[in-house]
Amino acid sequence: MPRKNPMCMAEWKKLLVLSFVLLPILLVGVVALYGFAVWGLQLLFLGPPGP
Amino acid sequence: MKKLWHALVSLFCRPAAKIGLGILVTVGFIAGVLSWQGFTSVMGVTNSEEFCVGCHTMQANLHELKDTVHWSNRSGVRAKCADCHVPHDFTDKMARKMKASVEVWSHITGEISTPEKFEENRLRLAQNEWARFRANGSKECRSCHDYKSMDFEKMRETSREAMRGAAQRNQSCLDCHKGIAHHKPATGNSRNPAFDGLMQAASSVSAKEGAVYYNVFPRTLYLDEALSQTAGKLEIAAAVKVLQEKGDAQQVEISAWRKSKGFGRVWYGHFGKNITQATLEKNVAQDAQRIKVTESREDPNTGLVWQKTSGVFWIKKGEVVEKIDPLWSVARDSYKSSCSVCHKQPDEAHFDANTWPGLFGGMVGFTSMDKDTQALVLKYLQSNSSDFKQAGH
């Protein structure tokens, strides 16, 4: 019975999209942004990383 | 836009009505594990040698590595591209990975897309890497090569003291060991910017007739005032006496010594000392009309007969300065900074003028001096050698 429930289907879809598509993209995006930010700071203020 | 925002808010904030909390967390957990695994795998792949040499440009660089100890050695430990060129800490590594977008960009736009184009940019790119290693004290090298774990007694005698000193100073490996994994960029064609200052100074000198001047840069000597017939080359820091000026040309007299053996093409500044002043074309050097020999003397050290010679040539105006000191100051700076990187540089007067060329030639390959600076520094060392500093000893 609950398997036929359209609301249940919608929630499963959301769950899977969120955890396997959206958040992984977000992970890559955040890390990339972090990398670019550090690089930018190195160019402007920090200079090349020290020992 | 607003719709998207609402969709996102409801996606994140509306509680699930039908799926249990445990299932949500479990799915999230599995997704998290898989994502992180995927992320580290991508990091691993982009750090692999296959990935690095995937573009045609980098293949020559791998080939160079294959001739070195970092590729194969008796203990089987080897360095891959990323071991040296990608920082190992997370933050610096991520910054470097993003920085690689420049490399991708210059590959796509064709700025550096072939080994030939890489070669044109090698010096600049190497300088980037050298600056990075200078700033972090060659951190990547030292994740394998640690001063604390070095057994200095097992080193070759020639390396031992240098390495001990380096360990004491906690010195960056690349200070001395440039060009150990790839070909060192040819610095022969680059120019020491200090010469620009000298040449500018020379261009504003108005020469007085009969006075002695010093050449600031290797120049062509001419036979005629139209500067059309080449007579040879005037070496850097060579002394000339200006006889007259005509238009853009200057007539100069060179007095020097030459060895009577051979064609006498090479002229030296002093009797018995191999400090070159000028190199003449063969036919010019043999021209008795043009070259005056005023004295002959045998060098007791070698048994060779040296002749005092002089000749009159033309050079382009604005290439000489009144005093040798600015030249020596450029040379001294270069000598001090280049040589002291690896060892205490010997006193100029520690060797004589004929010993310096051999010593200098053996060491200069470790420095990044361009060829004109090399010539000037050698001239400086010879001219300030023990032969000319007798009073001090």
This model of the complex carries an ipTM of: 0.86
Q: What tokens were used for B8?
A: 């996102």
Residues 113-132 in B contacting A (C-alpha not used; CB under 8 Å) = 131-132
Whether B38 contacts chain A with CB within 8 A: yes
Classify B82 as helix, strand or coil. helix
Confidence band of B311 (pLDDT split at 50, 70, 90):
very high
At residue B360, does pLDDT exceed 80?
yes
Of B17, B32, B89, nearest to A7 by CB-CB distance is B17
Is pLDDT above 70 for A3? no
Chain A contact present for B21, CB below 8 A: no
Outline where B109-210 has alpha helix (H): 115-135, 139-142, 157-169, 194-203
Work out the pLDDT band at B379, boundaries 50, 70, 90: very high
Q: B390: pLDDT confidence band, cut at 50, 70 and 90?
A: low
B199 part of a folded domain: yes
CB pairs under 8 A between A and B: 77
**Has residue B6 been placed in a domain?**
no
CATH number of the domain enclosing B347: 1.10.760
Among residues B177, B109, B166, B167, the alpha carbon closest in space to that of B141 is found at B177
**Do B209 and B299 fall into the same domain?**
yes
pLDDT of B179 > 70? The answer is: yes
In a domain, B1, yes or no: no
Residues A29 and A21: beta-carbon distance below 8 Å: no
Nearest CA in chain A to B138: A51
Is there a single domain that holds both residue B165 and residue B66?
no
Whether residue B2 is contained in a domain is answered as no
In a domain, B43, yes or no: no
Position B189 confidence tier, pLDDT thresholds 50, 70, 90: low
Q: How many domains does chain B have?
A: 4
Q: Which domain holds residue B244?
A: 194-321
Three-state SS at B200: helix
- Among residues B274, B298, B321, the one where a domain terminates is B321
B59 & B158 share domain: no
Assigned domain for B3 exists: no
- How much of chain B exceeds pLDDT 70, in percent? 98
Instruction: Clarify whether residues B357 and B241 are in a common domain.
Output: no
Structure confidence at residue B59 as a pLDDT band (50, 70, 90): confident
**Mutation choice for A interface testing from B9, B23, B92 by most A CBs within 10 A:** B92
Mean pLDDT, chain B, integer: 89
Residue B21 lies in a domain: no
One domain for residues B272 and B167: no
Q: Last residue of some domain: B104, B126, B145?
A: B145
What does the pLDDT read at residue B393?
44
Query: B321, B346, B361 — which closes off a domain?
Result: B321
Q: Is residue B39 part of a domain?
A: no
Task: Show the beta-strand stretches assigned E in chain B.
Answer: 212-215, 219-222, 230-234, 239-246, 249-259, 266-270, 273-280, 292-298, 305-316, 320-321
> What percent of chain B lies above the pLDDT cut of 90?
50
Q: What mean pLDDT do residues B326-331 have? A: 91
Q: Return mean pLDDT, chain A.
A: 87
Q: What is the pLDDT of residue B266?
A: 93
Confidence band for B301, pLDDT divided at 50, 70 and 90: confident
